[in-house]
Structure 1
């Protein structure tokens, strides 16, 4: 699954890019306020990495994430690795994330699934009921249609849902979205559209942990904006739930532990595999280096963010 509205300069994994910058800038500023000789070199390396980013920088290309012989999948999400699940394959982890969402579908009535932000369509093969994908990226829509049915559209535009709704009269859909809702611009319009149609929503999202200082939060919002993630989508759990309740939703939120850190472990291992197999000499050296650095940065994201599953019913 992909971010549904990729930033034009960072088409793959813009969210991870934003997290990297946010964590880096926050740590750098903390160093200025409270100098620590032990951490000086680490923060200096972070700062150097930020300065070296180029306009054509492409973080975490899916070719590396899915680099396994004889595998045709094109997943691009963080995956669910479970406790002690570091030995799990990326394909299994991404499938497990879909299964987490599927388990929540028992709570809502539906005849079919609208899979918003379905990326390259791998998730379309795993739903237990008929599904239709929506994605805003033409190339991903083309690839997704090899796995199922996907239309080109923007989840914040009600016409997108209306087109599907009118072709499936007398049937009730549920809206699912994995690793993309935080990228909707704005996410509130997406939720409002679903509410107006009477759709129930089950999705994964990211929220800000409580306790951030005003300054830290501003750095994180700035980083997310660079990555194409609207500032208004950066919310704590209380803010998130309050917004949905204000729209008339009943809301259930479940935290999924370890998503960032375990993906980081995978990224490190995957970079080593790609290195050992000589991909650096196939023109992917900078991508491998990026994969390694993101593994390092994402380790710290567990302290800043929570990964959640949301069930919102009108």
Structure 2
């Protein structure tokens, strides 16, 4: 577990910050997710775009929608929704001030951007409610009930939602106390609270409790966990970080450890990566 302890001590400027250039995305508004990796895919930005499209297509995102993007990171998803879906009204919520400043500089035509936690949506002064709320590869840092409570407060009637989270497989029930403690530590290193994770059936029941219908929970573990780990193994691990740039070394370290965690979670199959989509009942 020493590599996980080292990871927590050597994180970059913000615990969610990532230097996408290290992974191959040099855009002014870069991506910062694990990506959806299909056979033969070896381009980070394309894989990130594929994860966004997989979510966008699943909620039937279209140009007439008023869209709220939660945890929009460095802005690539906002630009993507704008260019490829031509959404009618687009707003973002992002916790990192550096990311918000970057978005304001390079995406001035955005309808609105809020520097805030998406767990405090009820405190924000939105000018309207939304037809679609998406959270791309970020919701698993939060408990589902609190997330859904906040999302419900900003939805139009019959609105659609989509987000990614982690779930516990049925094998979790057979683990002993020591093994469960190991997973608690592993997930804490990635700022995920084990107590916040549910089984698929419990997650579905939670969505129903918050009055969502047409619930779909899709396991993307192979395409996300395994795909990201393979990409880092084949590209980043074969290229040593530039010793002249301290920040680069730290970012390399963080990314390698994230990939190692993804590999472990995928291979052991106890914690799974899922895409969740649903529609409000009213």
Q: Distance in 2 between matches of 1:205 and 1:116?
A: 13
Q: Distance in 1 between matches of 2:130 and 2:6?
A: 49
User: Structure 1 stretch 136-145 or stretch 213-222: which is displaced more?
Assistant: 213-222
Aligned residue number for residue 309 of structure 1: 275
The answer to whether the Cα contact below 8 Å between 1:61 and 1:287 also exists between their aligned partners in 2 is: yes
Aligned residue number for residue 57 of structure 1: 11
Correspondent of 2:217 among 246, 250, 253: 253
The answer to whether the Cα contact below 8 Å between 2:67 and 2:132 also exists between their aligned partners in 1 is: yes
Shift of 1:66: 3.8
TM-score (norm 2): 0.78
Correspondent of 1:211 among 152, 155, 171: 171
Q: Distance in 1 between matches of 2:148 and 2:4?
A: 34
Choose between structure 1 and 2: higher strand proportion.
2
Matched position secondary structure for 1:194: helix
Q: Distance in 2 between matches of 1:207 and 1:103?
A: 22
Correspondent of 1:97 among 26, 51, 64: 51
CA RMSD of aligned residues (A): 2.9
| Residues 292 and 139 of structure 1: CA distance in aligned 2, closer, same or farther (over 3 Å) | closer
Q: Which structure has the larger Rg? A: 1
Gaps of 5+ in 1: 1-46
| Residues 206 and 106 of structure 1: CA distance in aligned 2, closer, same or farther (over 3 Å) | same
Matched position secondary structure for 2:198: coil
Shift of 1:226: 5.0
1:1-314 matches, within 5 Å, as: 47-53=1-7, 55-58=9-12, 61-67=18-24, 71-82=27-38, 84-87=39-42, 89-106=43-60, 111-127=65-81, 128=85, 129=87, 130-145=89-104, 146-147=106-107, 148=110, 149-160=112-123, 163-164=125-126, 167-168=127-128, 172-184=130-142, 186-198=143-155, 199-212=159-172, 213-215=175-177, 216-250=179-213, 251-256=215-220, 257-272=222-237, 274-275=239-240, 279-283=242-246, 284-302=248-266, 303-314=269-280
TM-score (norm 1): 0.71
Shift of 1:51: 4.9
Q: Distance in 1 between matches of 2:8 and 2:192?
A: 19
* Residues 17-45 of structure 1, C-alpha deviations (whole Å, 9 max, x = no match): xxxxxxxxxxxxxxxxxxxxxxxxxxxxx
Shift of 1:53: 4.7
Shift of 1:188: 1.2
Matched position secondary structure for 2:171: coil
